[in-house]
Amino acid sequence: MQLTFEVIAETLRERIRSGGLGAGDPLPTQAVLMREFGASSLTVQKAMALLKEDGWAVSRPGKGAFVAHYDHAADDLDGPEATVPVGGTAARVEALELALAEAVQQIADLRGRVEALEPGGGERGH
């Protein structure tokens, strides 16, 4: 039996495969999915993370989540590639680059806080 987040992710994958959602289309918001599936925000977040991880969706900060580019012809294949959207690797790279940029910014923010707390106000070594 599938967990709720897996059901949500599979439902959205099926909507993409069937053409109900196309490449570049916005995915339903967290609030919409919570209502539709009677799920918690954490469950919906896990479903969205799974879709992004597998290359089905991409995030655009401040705009939401969108369907990644998908090749419907791949549905005719028999291997694991039958369920992987074209550009899945590119979507994963984009997600990793975004996560890395966010981590670098967090590190810079923390470094600034630490330097501000140190004696001399961060003018060490000058």
CATH of the domain at 74: 1.10.10.10
In a domain, 124, yes or no: no
d(CA 107, CA 4): 34
Q: Are the C-beta atoms of 66 and 25 separated by less than 8 Å? A: yes
In a domain, 125, yes or no: no
pLDDT score recorded for residue 121: 58
In a domain, 126, yes or no: no
Burial class (CB in 10 A: 0-12, 13-18, 19+), 37: middle
User: Which among 53, 95, 90 is positioned nearest to 71, based on CA atoms?
Assistant: 90
* Mean pLDDT comparison of 25-29, 83-87, 101-105, 111-115, highest-scoring range: 25-29
In a domain, 123, yes or no: no
What average pLDDT does range 86-98 have in this prediction? 64
In a domain, 65, yes or no: yes
In a domain, 67, yes or no: yes
In a domain, 70, yes or no: yes
pLDDT score recorded for residue 119: 80
Give 104's pLDDT tier (boundaries 50, 70, 90): confident
Give 84's pLDDT tier (boundaries 50, 70, 90): very low
Q: How many structural domains comprise the chain?
A: 1
d(CA 78, CA 80): 7
In a domain, 61, yes or no: yes
User: 74 is in which domain, residue-wise?
Assistant: 4-117
Global pTM reads: 0.56
